[in-house]
Amino acid sequence: MNLGRLLTQARRRIPSAPAISQGARTLSYADFDDRSDALAHALADRGLRQGDRVAVLLANAPELLETMFACFKAGYGFVPLNAKFRPDEVSYHLQDSGAAALVVDAAGGDVAVQADTGDTALIAVGDPRDGFAEYESLVQGATGRGSVAVDVDRDDVAWLFYTSGTTGRPKGAILTHGVLDFVTASWLADLTPMDERSVTLHAAPLTHGAGFHALATTARGAHHVLTPAGSFDPAGILALMRSAGVTCTWLVPTQIVMLTDHLAGRRADLPGLRHIVYGGAAFAPADLKVALEVFGPRLVQLYGQGETPMTATVLPPEDHASALAGDRSERLASAGFARPGMDVRIHDGDDRELPAGEVGEVVVRGPAVMTGYWQRPAETAAALRHGWLHTGDLGRMDERGYVYLLDRAKDMIISGGSNVYAVEVEAVLTEHPAVREVAVVGVPDRTWGELVVAVVVPEERADQPDRPLAVASPELTGQWEAHCREQLATYKRPRRYVLLDALPRNAYGKVPKRVLREQLAQQAATQQDLTQQDSTQNGSTT
């Protein structure tokens, strides 16, 4: 089925119900459906044909959802770009996807004019600059020309979901109408059951995981509520959740921690809230326990990469509630169990299934898995070999099927011949009251192969804040070493602690450990140069 029918069917049932609200602006489901039809017509008038791709460089806004459904209806591939992309990143994604059109807002337009957009048609929401068509004029000019829903095959491209590109260039995971149809049904089945009385808050980018939540919201005719453009404001978010009667939302762990920090241990006064879906990054168990105390057992975790969009495993509210009550609290460290219709296993390097408890690569198969990478047959064959999506994530599965993620295979630290999983060390350190955030990485060492280094954002940083990296004081180092000594084997304990004011994050909110390794290498090189200079100067004076 054409995914655009999700919107058309909702409109038939509840045409006057609120569909999208942002600030004082609200569109009904009739408005939402009509405007997406009009945009689909307008894009066809500009020469686009079924199978073409349309990119967006937009912060969360009604126009983003309108463009998404216009693409589905007309059979265009939707290519969402992160609103934080820089010009060279925009150039790459446009060229790689072959996008025929790019829709931008004011900030996106500032970036697009510096990018190499080639022959891509440029469309601007708001006041357009030279060379850009005006979005609203296109919509108004094609209003009233009837509904759009071309015939599509289940394997036709609906969405090109670009990976975050932590190694090499980002790749476009091909998500088809069939894949996203299953993802939508699955979301409603075991993440956030909804109906037309439900209210979904979109506080995370719709160009990423929240976009799949938007599909489920639309399918049930629920109310999309978008936060105002700008940074994540915890006080404003909580006030909006109360005033709008939000029943469910998707948040990344960083956002949840910001909300709990703002509430400072107070229980959240959100009587209508039913579910907070989280995923997309590691959530330290200590922080998760605080979130459960603040929000209650309303949290539900999902796991799944862009290649199997947020649809591999689930840790439901019931498991969170059990952990909150003190029963099987270790499951808070897990990513849950396989979602209905999906098969998740742990394989060794020869693609053989491993028994419970052994560490290997997490592999996934089922109707939510991508059909391949856009125009990359070799990478597709490697990722989907033997019928399984090879995630590159290391993990283990217990005897009841709960998956525990340990690390990206490329981020595993091998020190003295022993495997060190950074997530285990990070979980221990985040329990220390002087640690706000931490990322653990390996750095080269002639003796040990790699040394375990903890990059820490302390609760109170006493060192010089203008330095990008600073050595932890002996007092802090001693505290953390004593803490780790109680819970970690010797080979797992950090050999060095360095401080940052904030961990770097990529466009998707994840900590790129490659960046930290590069900073540590640069720091080491600088210190070596200074040591050599001191040695030379001392030698010249003797």
pLDDT value of position 508: 59
Residue 166 has pLDDT above 60, yes or no: no
HSE-CB at 276 with a 13 A cutoff on CA atoms is 25
pLDDT value of position 467: 52
C-alpha 418/C-alpha 395 separation (Å) is 16
Q: How many residues does the chain have?
A: 542
pLDDT value of position 196: 96
pLDDT value of position 487: 82
Quickly state the pLDDT bin for 64 (edges 50, 70, 90). Answer: very high
Query: Could you tell me which residue, 169 or 355, shows the higher pLDDT?
Result: 355
C-alpha 63/C-alpha 135 separation (Å) is 9
- Give the lowest-confidence range in 107-116, 328-337, 404-413: 404-413
Read off the amino acid at residue 83.
A
C-alpha 305/C-alpha 478 separation (Å) is 38
Tell me the two tokens of residue 446.
Answer: 């002639």
Tell me the two tokens of residue 484.
Answer: 């780790």
- Give the lowest-confidence range in 130-134, 154-158, 205-209, 416-420: 416-420
pLDDT value of position 245: 97
Query: Could you tell me which residue, 531 or 476, shows the higher pLDDT?
Result: 476
| Average pLDDT along the chain | 90
pLDDT in tens, 210-251: 999 999 999 999 999 999 877 789 999 999 999 999 999 999
For residue 414, the Cα-to-chain-centroid distance in whole angstroms is 27
Torsion of CA 435, 441, 445, 451, to 10 degrees: 50
Residue 529 has pLDDT above 90, yes or no: no
Residue 540 has pLDDT above 60, yes or no: no
Look up the CATH number of domain 412-530. Answer: 3.30.300.30
Which residues contact residue 286 at a Cβ distance below 8 angstroms, ignoring those fewer than 6 apart?
Answer: 427, 430, 431
H or E stretch including 138?
helix 135-142
pLDDT value of position 328: 77
H or E stretch including 175?
strand 172-176
Beta carbons of 256 and 273 less than 8 angstroms apart: no
pLDDT in tens, 398-441: 999 999 988 777 777 878 667 787 888 888 898 899 998 999 99
pLDDT value of position 463: 46
Quickly state the pLDDT bin for 542 (edges 50, 70, 90). Answer: very low
pLDDT value of position 42: 98
Residue 464 has pLDDT above 60, yes or no: no
Q: Look at phi and psi of residue 72 and say left if phi exceeds 0, alpha if psi is from -120 to 50, else beta.
A: alpha
Using alpha carbons, select from 228, 295, 300, 301 the residue that is nearest to residue 258. Answer: 295
Provide the β-strand partners of residue 442: 452
What phi and psi, each to the nearest 5 degrees, are found at residue 265?
A: 90, -10
Cα of first residue to Cα of last residue in the chain, in angstroms, is 83
H or E stretch including 524?
helix 513-540
Tell me the two tokens of residue 243.
Answer: 């005033």
Residues 295-321, mean pLDDT to the nearest whole number: 94
pLDDT value of position 461: 55
Strands 403-408 and 389-397: antiparallel
Residue 235, CA distances (Å) to 22, 225, 260, 283 in order: 17, 16, 11, 22
Using alpha carbons, select from 232, 229, 279, 286 the residue that is nearest to residue 253. Answer: 279
Using alpha carbons, select from 48, 35, 26, 27 the residue that is nearest to residue 143. Answer: 35
Percent of the chain with pLDDT over 70: 93
Helices 285-295 and 317-324: crossing angle in degrees, nearest 10, is 90
Backbone Cα Rg of the chain:
24
Beta carbons of 77 and 97 less than 8 angstroms apart: yes
Residues 199-217, mean pLDDT to the nearest whole number: 94
C-alpha 511/C-alpha 163 separation (Å) is 14
pLDDT value of position 419: 75
Residue 537 has pLDDT above 90, yes or no: no
pLDDT value of position 447: 67
Task: Give the Cα-Cα-Cα angle 30, 32, 36 (nearest 5 degrees).
Answer: 120
pLDDT value of position 370: 98
Max mean pLDDT among 142-156, 400-414, 442-456 falls in 142-156
DSSP reduced 3-state for 426: helix
pLDDT value of position 286: 81
Residue 329 has pLDDT above 90, yes or no: no
Residue 383 has pLDDT above 70, yes or no: yes
**Per-domain boundaries in the chain:** 412-530
pLDDT value of position 462: 44
Quickly state the pLDDT bin for 385 (edges 50, 70, 90). Answer: very high
Residue 541 has pLDDT above 50, yes or no: no
Tell me the two tokens of residue 270.
Answer: 């959100």
- Give the lowest-confidence range in 26-35, 182-191, 257-266, 365-374: 257-266
Beta carbons of 98 and 77 less than 8 angstroms apart: no
pLDDT in tens, 355-370: 999 999 999 999 999 9
